Amino acid sequence: MRDDAVQAERLGAALVSRRCGLVRELAPQGRGPEEPCPPHLWTATLAHYDFRAAGPSERLNAGKGRTEAEARLSALGEAIERYSAYHWDASRIRVGPALPGAITPADCVLHSEAQYRAGLPYPRWSPATETSWIEGVELPSGRPVELPAGLVYLLSPLPRPQDHVAAVTSNGLAAGSDLTRAVIGGLCELIERDALMITWLNRLPATLIETPETGCMAAAIIRHYRRFGVVVRLLSLATDQAAFVVMAVAENPDPAQGARIVGMGCDPDPASAVDKAMFELCQARPSMISRLARSDAAERLRGPEDVRDLDDHPLYHALPRNLGAFDFLFASGSRVRLDDLPRPAAPDPEAVLARLVEAANAAGARIAYVDITAPDIAPLGPRVVRCFATGFQPIHFGHGEGRLGGRRLYEAPLRWGLRAEPLAEADLNPCPHPLA
């Protein structure tokens, strides 16, 4: 039995039980015959561990993989990640002003002065603000560093309102089979979302990856969708990091299935980034079809100002009237073959992590993580971390929630040769990004 199958069986036995498990159900995700397999899609439904009857959006966790075992592991990893991130550990928290050397909320990009003046519901932060801190690890030195606990956990509301300096998101949160792989996953997510937000808000062009015929699993998936009239294009987004960021864009002739749906992938290996983006797209399509069938999106989402939460973002772009929102991505006409993109050497996790950290440091970012694995999960082996890359543009959800107070959002397009002058804040793209 392969390692992932052994691990899936072991974790499933420890976590899954309808009567007394942390995960009440581990099951295949439903989908129609027009969807390809692989990827395999599974869901893990968390129990009401916090004695609160929360809805599916807080309990249902989706996983994907090349095999059923990999998809089950992925779903269990998502459940473990969410469960751990909801457990605020007061014993690890120091409350006080910022100490020298800390990575502060401001380092993680907050809102602009114009946004605060417009009446944001978040308090302004300063080094003198009494803040909740948790000790993490800075890379590559391995030295301890204080991190803002309000940006570590998924808990909302936070125990102290002063810590709620921005909307809670999962940016940089990741689970892995060991600590190194978890940190790699968290950093790749930060790189992916940084590239997406800089591209989207600045309306930067992307590079079309010519449809591959071999060399990745995405090739067969694209051919499969083509038989149903669904056209998939692969875009490489600009970044200065040691990983490729790929957006898979599917356009569907049947608006009932979502006129346009996207998936994102990030990996040091371009073929792996392409496959991750395609797998995420495949995961999104069945749920989007289901949501559109019971949604009033066409009446409710009339303009960008109507986009209020995470689910609204992909729904907005599933509406045919918003197809033009992607035009800037294809404007340059630049193309590249997947085979022409550089492939890394054998993926030793320690070497991969070192390259990611080195490139981020070269771009001016400090890299850190904090292990927040729940105590009852730690003996099973997986690790859950929240990663930080200072200055990287974080994702946001909902109109007006963008964290527009950083410099990288405005300066990176100039360094990358994609703009001659930085945009003013008022000129940033008001259209909501397409990612859930």
Q: Can you give the pTM of this predicted structure? A: 0.96
pLDDT tens figures, 281-334 = 999 999 888 888 888 888 999 999 999 999 999 999 999 999 999 999 999 999
- Token pair listed for 303: 């303009």
Question: Contact 123/93 with Cβ under 8 angstroms?
Answer: no
Question: Contact 298/319 with Cβ under 8 angstroms?
Answer: yes
Rounded CA-CA distance 100/145 in Å is 10
pLDDT of residue 411: 98
CB half-sphere exposure, 381, CA atoms < 13 A: 14
Q: Which CATH number fits domain 1-86: 3.40.50.300, 3.60.21.10, 3.30.160.20, 3.40.47.10?
A: 3.30.160.20
Rounded CA-CA distance 356/388 in Å is 13
pLDDT of residue 33: 86
pLDDT of residue 212: 87
| Cis, bond preceding 286 (omega within 30 deg of 0) | no
Rounded CA-CA distance 73/69 in Å is 6
Rounded CA-CA distance 130/126 in Å is 9
- Give me the residues of the chain with pLDDT under 50, please: 1
- What count of other Cβ atoms lies within 10 Å of the Cβ of residue 167? 19
pLDDT of residue 1: 39
Residue type, 404: L
pLDDT of residue 359: 98
Residues of the chain with CATH 3.30.160.20: 1-86
